Amino acid sequence: MLGAIDLGGTKIEACVFDPQLQALQRQRRATPHGSYAELLDAIVQQCLWLQTQAGNAQLPIGIGIPGLIDRRSGLSTTANLAAMGRPLQADLSARLGRHIAVENDCKCFALSEAQGGAGQGHGVVFGLILGTGVGGGVCTQGELMLHHNGLSGEVGHIALPAQCVAQWGLPVIRCGCGRTGCYETYVSGPGMTRLCKHLTGQALSAPEIVQGNAHGDPLLQSVFGVWVSLLCELLHTVQLVVDPDCVVFGGGLSRIPALAEHVARAFPSHQLSGLRAPHFTSATFGDSSGVRGAAILAQRLISS
Ligand SMILES: [Zn+2]
């Protein structure tokens, strides 16, 4: 058995997996936003629940978090959690008496889709999360590429090119990361709403825009077209830097019907001529992909 936890801004989901990575049981609890000690307690309680369900006090456990862990200092960078600058992994490992694997949730997603998911069989898989935020992870031959800061794939904080801003006269706004004009402010769910407000005067939600596009509303078709175009610009940059042969979409916006087909049609006009486009696809494991990736981290603890 394997234990996995998806630590989010609103909930902490614990899930027991069998050795073949089939999910057996889940339990969710709200994420406390008071003190770091409360957050730590809540995660430990979920770990103890996993151990009880699995009947194993030494259950291997992997945790996906919405932030980064500094490889050298072990400190967490988590903007939306009470663990900023704290040694979360070391503290959890100390409380539970063994090493607990902790990794960025976008990286867990990429790992899950590269191993037995939509990226299975591809050499270089780029997992791109399109949700409230935009993030990603890179896997080569099924293994995560983490590099110097464990950062590879955090493409949401690349700035949109000036020619895109100029073409549609887009507003350049401040991002949660402290910089301005990041892709995340345009191609996330809230970013799509922002585009809609700018182009039509109406701040419609992403599902409303997607539905309007599907029903042939010309204004919303143009909003959706601009959004796909900006996403393709981001993927062009990903191609130049990483050159993946497969891109897997995850997050709430990956549920847009035929998203991969929309992107595959638009992408060739954004890439340099003569190149082969990557295979675009949506996640096999949907919203559960991140926690499944955390289970793969737990699996690695056994083999390491
Ligand atoms: Zn940013």
CB neighbourhood size of 233 (10 A)? 20
Is residue 249 within 8 A of residue 238, CB to CB? The reply is no
Q: Is the pLDDT of residue 266 over 90?
A: yes
CA of 169 to the centre of ligand 1 (A): 20
Instruction: Count the residues in the chain.
Output: 304
* Dist. CA 137–CA 103, nearest whole Å: 11
Q: What's residue 150's pLDDT?
A: 87
- What mean pLDDT comes out for the span 34-46? 97
* Dist. CA 97–CA 80, nearest whole Å: 27
- Give the mean pLDDT of the chain: 96
User: What whole-number percentage of the chain has pLDDT above 70?
Assistant: 100
* Dist. CA 45–CA 51, nearest whole Å: 10
Q: Is the pLDDT of residue 101 over 80?
A: yes
CA of 154 to the centre of ligand 1 (A): 9
CA of 68 to the centre of ligand 1 (A): 14
Q: Is the pLDDT of residue 79 over 80?
A: no
Q: What's residue 229's pLDDT?
A: 98
Q: What is the pLDDT confidence band of residue 162, given thresholds at 50, 70 and 90? A: very high
- What string of H, E and C letters represents the secondary structure of 48-108? HHHHHHHCCCCCCEEEEECCEECCCCCCEECCCCCCCCCCHHHHHHHHHCCCCEEEEHHHH
Instruction: Tell me which DSSP letter residue 266 carries.
Output: H
Is residue 62 within 8 A of residue 295, CB to CB? The reply is yes
- What are the two backbone dihedrals, phi and then psi, of residue 280, each rounded to the nearest 5 degrees? -100, 135
Q: Is the pLDDT of residue 4 over 80?
A: yes
Q: What's residue 7's pLDDT?
A: 96
**pLDDT per residue as tens digits for the range 54-68:** 999 999 999 999 998
Q: What is the value of ipTM here, to two decimals?
A: 0.99
Please give the domain boundaries of the chain with CATH numbers for all domains: 2-108+287-303 (3.30.420.40), 122-283 (3.30.420.40)
Q: Is the pLDDT of residue 24 over 90?
A: yes
Q: Is the pLDDT of residue 190 over 80?
A: yes
- What mean pLDDT comes out for the span 1-8? 97
CA of 227 to the centre of ligand 1 (A): 17
CA of 159 to the centre of ligand 1 (A): 8
Is residue 45 within 8 A of residue 52, CB to CB? The reply is no
Q: What is the pLDDT confidence band of residue 124, given thresholds at 50, 70 and 90? A: very high
CA of 21 to the centre of ligand 1 (A): 34
- Nearest to 65, CA basis, from 37, 88, 36, 47: 88
Judged on CB neighbours under 10 Å (0-12, 13-18, 19+), 2 is buried
Q: What's residue 304's pLDDT?
A: 78
Judged on CB neighbours under 10 Å (0-12, 13-18, 19+), 280 is buried
CA of 133 to the centre of ligand 1 (A): 9
**pLDDT per residue as tens digits for the range 196-238:** 999 999 999 999 999 999 999 999 999 999 999 999 999 999 9
- What are the two backbone dihedrals, phi and then psi, of residue 249, each rounded to the nearest 5 degrees? -90, 135
**What six digits make up the tokens of 160?**
């949109």
Q: Which amino acid is at 47?
A: C
Q: What's residue 202's pLDDT?
A: 97
**What six digits make up the tokens of 223?**
């909003």
CA of 235 to the centre of ligand 1 (A): 16
Q: What's residue 46's pLDDT?
A: 98
- What mean pLDDT comes out for the span 72-101? 92
* Dist. CA 24–CA 49, nearest whole Å: 13
Is residue 285 within 8 A of residue 117, CB to CB? The reply is yes
* Dist. CA 44–CA 276, nearest whole Å: 47
